[in-house]
Structure 1
Amino acid sequence: MTVLKRYVLRLFLSLKYIMANVVDRNNGRIVATASTVEHSIKNSLKCGSSCNAKAAGAIGEVVAMRLKVEGLKLGRRGVHVDVANEIEKKRLGSKTKIWAVVNALRSNGVKLILDDETCEDSS
């Protein structure tokens, strides 16, 4: 059985760290991931005690690059993301971080399918 929403973006946010994963739901495999915990990303961001929207945008860019390196053929499917659900799961101040990741993925050529089109206003 094939899952309709095959590739899904999952975000994990804390006060200090941001992690983004693109998961293939057909086989449960993470196809691309990036985190501010990674040594190379951590040193280039200088987040200090907290990670901001700039760091979130960098994570989105790294995930997009890794999807291209992986040679992932998303075709017409794209990567699904439910922004409203991600915002609801996280604490209040994380809305700008979530949109920073989403917008960075979009601007780097990743086809995103927003599951909740009413949330497309990124303000």
Structure 2
Amino acid sequence: MVVSKRYALKLFMSLKYITANVIDRNNGRIVATASTAEHALKTTFECGRSCNAKAAAVVGEVLARRLKVEGLENGQGRGIHVDINKEVEKKGFKNRTKVWAVVNALKDNGVSLIPEDNHDGIS
């Protein structure tokens, strides 16, 4: 069975780290990932602040670059599906700016995002 909404963005946030994954729903495989837990990213943040909106934006930028390597940045009919409202609900209101920072960084770096059940109007 082939899933029409093949690629999906999933975010994981803790008190210390932010991780963004793009998952292939057909086989459950992670296509690309970026996290503030990575040594290369962790050392770039000032004062070790790896779980704020700036760090979330960096995670989005790095994920966008990795998606370009995989050939998934411009959609090619296969955009990345994201349910922003679900991600905000899952992470809690305090993390809303971090969720939007990741999403906006992906959009700003040329990743084609397809909103699911969206009431906020991203394109």
Matches within 5 A, 1:1-123: 1-46=1-46, 48=48, 51-72=51-72, 74-120=75-121
Q: Which moved more, 1:9-18 or 1:38-47?
A: 38-47
Q: Which moved more, 1:49-58 or 1:100-109?
A: 49-58
Kindly state the Cα deviation for residue 47 of structure 1 after the two structures are TM-superposed. 5.4
Q: Distance in 2 between matches of 1:79 and 1:70?
A: 13
RMSD over equivalenced CA pairs, Å: 1.6
Q: Which moved more, 1:45-54 or 1:56-65?
A: 45-54
The answer as to whether partners of 2:49 and 2:55 remain within 8 angstroms in 1 is no
Q: Distance in 2 between matches of 1:69 and 1:47?
A: 31
- Paired AA for residue 59 in structure 1: V
Q: Distance in 2 between matches of 1:72 and 1:81?
A: 14
Which SS does the other structure have where 1:44 is aligned?
A: coil
Kindly state the Cα deviation for residue 75 of structure 1 after the two structures are TM-superposed. 1.0
Kindly state the Cα deviation for residue 51 of structure 1 after the two structures are TM-superposed. 1.4
The answer as to whether partners of 1:15 and 1:50 remain within 8 angstroms in 2 is no
The answer as to whether partners of 2:72 and 2:78 remain within 8 angstroms in 1 is no
Instruction: Give every structure 1 segment of 4 or more consecutive aligned residues whose post-TM-superposition deviation is greater than 6 Å.
Output: none
Kindly state the Cα deviation for residue 117 of structure 1 after the two structures are TM-superposed. 2.4
- Paired AA for residue 110 in structure 2: G
TM-score of the two chains, using structure 1 as the length reference: 0.91
Kindly state the Cα deviation for residue 116 of structure 1 after the two structures are TM-superposed. 2.5
